[in-house]
C-alpha cells in the first residue's frame, strides 16, 4: 500500500496546475518525454490502480497484483533513470530507486506466496 500511496501522491502533485518540472534540472530529461501533467495523470492512475489491485485481487493467481508489481518496478526504474539523466546529483533519483525496489520486493513476495499456497494445497490433497 505504501507504493500505491507514493505513486498516487507523486502523480497528484505533478498533476496540479503549476510547472513542477520547471523548478529543477532533475526533471529536464523527463520533460522532453512528456509534460508534468501527463506524468502526473499516469502515476495518479497507476497509484490508484495499485490500491485497487491490493484490495481486490484475491485470486490464487494474483494476476492484478503481479502485473501491477511488474509495471511499478518498470515505471519507477524508468523514472529513476530519468532523474539520473536530468541531474545525477539530485536526491529524487534515490527516492525513485527505492520505489522501484519496493515494487520488485512486492513482486517477489507475491510469487513466493503463490508457491507456498500451491505447496499447502498439494499437501492438503494428499491428506
Mean pLDDT of 64-90: 90
What gap in Å lies between CA 7 and CA 50, rounded to an integer? 9
pLDDT (tens digit, 9 = 90+) per residue, 40-53?
A: 999 999 999 888 88
pLDDT tier for residue 34 given thresholds of 50, 70 and 90: very high
Model confidence, pTM: 0.78
The answer to whether 74 and 96 are in contact (CB under 8 A) is no
pLDDT tier for residue 113 given thresholds of 50, 70 and 90: confident
Mean pLDDT of the chain: 87
Cell triple for 46: 497507476
Q: Domain ranges for the chain, please list them.
A: 2-126
Q: Is the pLDDT of residue 77 over 80?
A: yes
Cell 502526473 belongs to 40
Amino acid at each position: 500500500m505504501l507504493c500505491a500511496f507514493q505513486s498516487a501522491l507523486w502523480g497528484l502533485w505533478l498533476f496540479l496546475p503549476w510547472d513542477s518540472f520547471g523548478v529543477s534540472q532533475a526533471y529536464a530529461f523527463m520533460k522532453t518525454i512528456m509534460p508534468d501533467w501527463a506524468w502526473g495523470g499516469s502515476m495518479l492512475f497507476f497509484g490508484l490502480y495499485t490500491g485497487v489491485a491490493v484490495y481486490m485481487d484475491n485470486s490464487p493467481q494474483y494476476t492484478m497484483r503481479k502485473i501491477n508489481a511488474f509495471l511499478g518496478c518498470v515505471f519507477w526504474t524508468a523514472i529513476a533513470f530519468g532523474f539520473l539523466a536530468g541531474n545525477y546529483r539530485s536526491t529524487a533519483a534515490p527516492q525513485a530507486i527505492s520505489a522501484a525496489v519496493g515494487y520488485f520486493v512486492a513482486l517477489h513476495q507475491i510469487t513466493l506466496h503463490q508457491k507456498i499456497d500451491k505447496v499447502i494445497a498439494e499437501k492438503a490433497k494428499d491428506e
